[in-house]
A and B are shown apart, each in its own frame.
Chain A
Amino acid sequence: MSKSSYVYAVLRWAAVIGFVVVLIIFASQNKISKAAFEDVSTAVVESVDLSKMQEGNDSTFKRLYGLESSDYEAVKLYWPLSNMDAQELLVIQLKDVSQQKQVEEAIQARLETQKKSFDGYGVEQYALLTESSIVDVQGNYILFAVGADYMQADAAFKAAL
């Protein structure tokens, strides 16, 4: 075999090793939680002030996020009581981590829609959406929280997983 052939062989197997390393790194950051959805969602819900929110159902979820709740293991949604509020809370347990991207995109789209709605006249709401919101993806669970207590929601979410 020629020298270049050996070089090509080294490069191609180095790429495979690189691929496996990337796989291991991202797999270790994407642990699947075995925690029950009820426990996770209850912990998150109890950590925030729900006085300006109402519980949403499947059709609210579809309307606000363009997603089907039946595509996921479980969904818990609280959305603003009034059009003049921006507080929101969403906990989703995915069936498969390959759903992460789709859900993240839907949440970002929802966030953008809300920002556009309040940009220019709802100063407080806009500030909440830009400064007091979080999208936290943890393996098979995703949290989206908008509100003054978004940090507490995230802490409760992480602790419950």
Chain B
Amino acid sequence: MAFNQLIFVCLFLPLSVILYRVIPQKLKKAFLILISLVFIAWGNITDLLYLICVIIFNYFSARQIARLKNDGLKKYARFVFISALAVNILFLGYFKYYNFFRSLVGLPEASFGLAIPIGISFVSFSLISFVCDVYMEKEEVPRFFDFVLFVVFFPKITSGPIVSFNEFQKMLAEHNPNKQNLNAGAEQFVIGLAKKTLLAGNLSILFTAISGAAGRSVLEAWLGALGYAFMLYFDFSGYSDMAIGLGKMFGYTMPANFMYPYTSVNISDFWRRWHISLGAFFRNYVYIPLGGNRKGEKRQVFNLFVVFLLTGIWHGANFTFIVWGLYHFVFNAAEKLFLDKALKKVPHVIRSLFTFVIVVIGWVFFFSDSLGGAFTYLGNMFGVGCTAGAGGYYLWSFIILLLISAFCALPLGHNIMINIKKRKAKFYLPVRAVVNVCLFLLCTAAMVSDTYTSFLYAAF
């Protein structure tokens, strides 16, 4: 079940919210665990069985680490910690990367196949952060059912945001299923749904038509890359908005995962605004433990290299993702060493546009099946190997959609609403209500008439 399916929007969600609001406070957590398990099992019962095993393994690993530390047996605690990390990494590695390594070393194909469990990358990272925090004594081992909810909480299980246990503790402490949160959550959910169904869904038509063609002109290649840049943003930030909105509807506030990334003034800034929870994970559990920027420039560049290599690998078992990660590393390192100083005098808008172009070019590696395909596409963008195409037709057909996408990718709508609130306060709530209702109706119509499309990040 996905958030953009009618069965979720029209049945699972309203039923869950209504029941959640009417049941007694002391049963709410248990109910949330129950509906999360139903959500997981709905897609595949195997996912549920896998999750039960990893929950038990990680919870009792943490308990054992805490107990051994308490008893002064630090060496044993370290062994349990390393074995817990190894099992989690093996779990992630087997499902996501086994086939990649098998093809690299030329092993024969296995005679059986296993489907990748739901949200494996997101769940594994949450669990790794939990075990690390317990080992580093940043966190105490929680009650079992708090931990279960942390792992299975259905709004975040498929594609994040990656929430550390520390953040989840805050969410539990600040849990408030009041009307205000319900309304705010519903509004954010509708905005996310609109991003996915109305924008990403239509942008995929442009991208599919251009990327699937045997050849393309320069204009087509740029339009395709631009379409993908917006599609990926609206797809994933739409999903994140829906997840965060759902959390709010149940009284839990998750941290933001996107902050208008296409307004970034440099690549470092982009990574503070794009998939924020993944960046935070790598910062807290890789970059800082490696020394961050505290051990000199050379070491900092090496640490960045490791972080971006892992960021690429995290996205998938393909050299295209590794090159995409390293591409971002090159710009990040260049900014730290000289580029930022050189660009400081350049106007803000120009820097943002420059960053946007760098990011759009980077997405070519991200969406291509192979490095060969990526370089062919990049060649097309710069006039190499182009064919006569229908760039004018695509531009004419999709210009409105691209302009709306650009408008929505910038904080313009948000600023307009703030202005209405400040200057015409009495219109603020009615305008918001009308916008939300219209968006919801349009999304429903799109879900009914269009075929279902899955979220891009569900594959990671």
Of the candidates B61, B84, B112, which one forms a contact with A28 in the assembled complex, judged by CB atoms under 8 Å apart?
Answer: B112
Whether A26 lies near B56 (C-beta < 8 A) is no
A-B contact count (CB 8 A): 116
From known contacts A11-B60, A12-B61, A105-B2, infer whether A19 and B50 are also in contact, taking CB-CB under 8 Å: yes
Within the assembled complex, what's the spacing in Å between the Cα atoms of A151 and B80? Answer: 53
Contact with A along B293-310 (1 / 0, CB 8 A): 000000000000000000
A2 contacts the other chain (CB 8 A): yes
Task: Please indicate the chain A residues that have their CB under 8 angstroms from the CB of B52 in the complex.
Answer: 18
Of the candidates A22, A66, A96, A100, which one forms a contact with B53 in the assembled complex, judged by CB atoms under 8 Å apart?
Answer: A22
Choose the segment among A77-85, A106-114, A152-160 that binds chain B (4+ C-beta atoms closer than 8 Å). A106-114
Whether A113 lies near B53 (C-beta < 8 A) is no
Task: Please indicate the chain B residues that have their CB under 8 angstroms from the CB of A27 in the complex.
Answer: 112-114
Task: Please indicate the chain A residues that have their CB under 8 angstroms from the CB of B56 in the complex.
Answer: 11-12, 14-15, 18
A29 smallest CB distance to B (angstroms): 8
B10 smallest CB distance to A (angstroms): 12
Task: Please indicate the chain B residues that have their CB under 8 angstroms from the CB of A105 in the complex.
Answer: 2, 5, 43, 452, 454
Task: Please indicate the chain A residues that have their CB under 8 angstroms from the CB of B114 in the complex.
Answer: 23, 26-27, 30, 97
B158 smallest CB distance to A (angstroms): 11
Q: Which residue of the partner chain A has the closest CB to B91?
A: A19
Task: Please indicate the chain B residues that have their CB under 8 angstroms from the CB of A23 in the complex.
Answer: 114
B208 contacts the other chain (CB 8 A): yes
B436 contacts the other chain (CB 8 A): no
Q: Which residue of the partner chain B has the closest CB to A106?
A: B452
Contact with A along B246-266 (1 / 0, CB 8 A): 000000000000000000000
Task: Please indicate the chain A residues that have their CB under 8 angstroms from the CB of B6 in the complex.
Answer: 112
Choose the segment among B12-20, B32-40, B68-76, B273-281 that binds chain A (4+ C-beta atoms closer than 8 Å). B68-76
Within the assembled complex, what's the spacing in Å between the Cα atoms of A96 and B450? Answer: 26
B434 smallest CB distance to A (angstroms): 28
From known contacts A101-B43, A102-B454, A105-B452, infer whether A1 and B112 are also in contact, taking CB-CB under 8 Å: no
Task: Please indicate the chain B residues that have their CB under 8 angstroms from the CB of A113 in the complex.
Answer: 451
Chain B interface category by residue count: 35 or more
Q: Which residue of the partner chain B has the closest CB to A12?
A: B60
Task: Please indicate the chain B residues that have their CB under 8 angstroms from the CB of A97 in the complex.
Answer: 113-115
Within the assembled complex, what's the spacing in Å between the Cα atoms of A58 and B49? Answer: 36
Within the assembled complex, what's the spacing in Å between the Cα atoms of A26 and B52? Answer: 15
A sample of 20 cross-chain residue pairs with beta-carbon separation below 8 angstroms, ordered by A number, consists of A4-B67, A5-B71, A8-B63, A12-B61, A15-B55, A18-B53, A19-B50, A19-B57, A19-B91, A22-B53, A28-B112, A32-B109, A32-B111, A66-B452, A98-B113, A98-B115, A102-B459, A106-B451, A113-B451, A139-B112
**Chain B residues with a Cβ under 8 A of chain A:** 2, 5-6, 43-44, 46, 49-50, 52-57, 60-61, 63-64, 67-68, 71, 73, 76, 80, 84, 87, 91, 95, 99, 109-116, 208, 212, 448, 450-454, 458-459
**Chain A residues with a Cβ under 8 A of chain B:** 1-2, 4-5, 8-9, 11-12, 14-16, 18-19, 22-23, 26-28, 30-32, 58, 62-66, 68, 70, 96-98, 100-102, 105-106, 109-110, 112-113, 116, 139-140
